[in-house]
Amino acid sequence: MVQHQAFGAKTDGRDGVVMGRRGFLALTGVAAAALAGCGPSGGGPLVRLASGEVGGFYYAFAGLLAAAAARSGNVRIERVTTSGSQENLTMLANGQVDAALALSDSVGDNVDRVLALGRVYENYLQLVVRSDSTIRSVAELRGTRVNLGADGSGAALTGARILRVAGLKPEADVRVSHRPLREAMAELTAGEADALLWAGGVPTSVLEIPKRMRLVDMGELAVPMRERFGPAYDRVEIPADAYPGGAAVHTIGVANFLLAAAAMPEDVAASIVELLVYQADSLVPTEAAGTQFLDGRSLIGTAPVPLHPGAAEVYRAWHG
């Protein structure tokens, strides 16, 4: 078996996941370089991949995958900028794109309309407040102004669930808004919002932690989230060195799936999965080496979404 490094995460021994600073470091910073030569020109069929916001982890990962595809010459991947998981799933269901990245808990009613190419990494829910804020828990958001992610993002869905588990009713107890990350950051910095929720990799450089902002611990809500909404949620740790000078917090992690339309030809699906399996080193920045691992068992762990037949064939061949 070929062992490779990718975006899975290590358990923390408490039914959770631990992540070092290097685990997601610099993806957004390397995306532009990785995209050199990875546009729609070149050999192979074209696959339009719904990713996410500029500056976010989905967007960066899609860029790295597109670059790897360009090098392989077997398939072309065109990255499509979106607001996130829910919009990605809508576009995939409507035939606007051929593949999409999505939080596993966002799949919902789409589970019978999509197929999985792999479970690619863990997303981290990050609740951010200003450094001088007195807010120390989700329950203390009552009466505040909170951005729960852009319309169409996975954070919008998961964030509403987090509020409910904490005993808060969106809109009734919390003034909810939905802005893209950079707009939400500007509002928080200007004092026009009290908190924002972001679902993405760690670190997310634009969050400016701990310079002007800090993370709120949400670890205690992981188990209630699982009990109320299902097994998609893990207790994960963001260690102190994830953001230089920051403090360790626990939060909620959700697996990310790389999904495909059922109509995707098997050879095309296989070409994409071969990138995940055999070019995994090129999908992980140097800073992440040794901290994130994704073996075959992790890649194929896409339940309740079934694997695309083309993907399953590659995994069978890989395992022998």
- The CATH code of the domain that includes 219 is 3.40.190.10
Considering the domain architecture, whether residues 241 and 137 belong to the same structural domain is answered as yes
Q: What is the mean pLDDT of residues 274-287?
A: 73
CA dist 218 and 238 (Å) reads 11
Residue 5 lies in a domain: no
pLDDT digits (tens, 9 = 90+) for 43-79: 799 999 999 988 787 888 899 999 999 999 999 999 9
- Does the pLDDT at position 112 exceed 80? yes
Convert the pLDDT of each residue in 137-162 to its tens digit: 999 999 999 999 999 999 999 999 99
Position of tokens 């609740």?
127
Last residue of a domain, one of 205, 224, 253: 253
Q: Sign of dihedral through CA atoms 212, 216, 217, 223? A: negative
> Cis peptide before 210, with omega less than 30 degrees from 0?
yes
Cα separation of 101 and 52, whole Å?
A: 8
Residues 67 and 39 in one domain: yes
pLDDT at 214: 95
Contacts of 88 by beta carbon, 8 Å cutoff, 6+ apart? 50, 51, 52, 58, 82, 97, 100, 101, 102
Given a cut of 70, is residue 36 above it in pLDDT? no
Q: How far is CA 309 from CA 73, 117, 245, in A?
A: 22, 9, 46
Q: 238 with 261, same domain?
A: no
Task: Provide the domain limits for residue 229.
Answer: 125-253
Angle at 315 between CA 104 and CA 107, to 5 degrees: 15
Least confident of 28-32, 131-135, 145-149: 28-32
Q: How many domains would you assign to the chain?
A: 2
**Which stretches does DSSP call E strand in the chain?**
10-11, 16-18, 46-50, 76-80, 99-103, 114-130, 145-147, 175-177, 195-200, 213-216, 233-238, 249-261
Average pLDDT over residues 221-247: 92
Give the 3-state secondary structure of residue 103: strand
**Same domain, yes or no: 299 and 284:** yes
Q: What is the pLDDT of residue 254?
A: 93
For the chain, counts of helices (H) and of strands (E): 9, 12
Task: Return d(Cα 59, Cα 44) in angstroms, integer.
Answer: 22
Exposed e or buried b for every residue in 254-274, given b needs 16+ CB within 10 A?
bbbbbbbbeebeeebbbbbbb
Half-sphere exposure (CA, 13 Å, Cβ side) for 220?
9
Statement to judge: residues 55 and 108 lie in one domain = yes
Would 3 be classed as within a structural domain? Answer: no
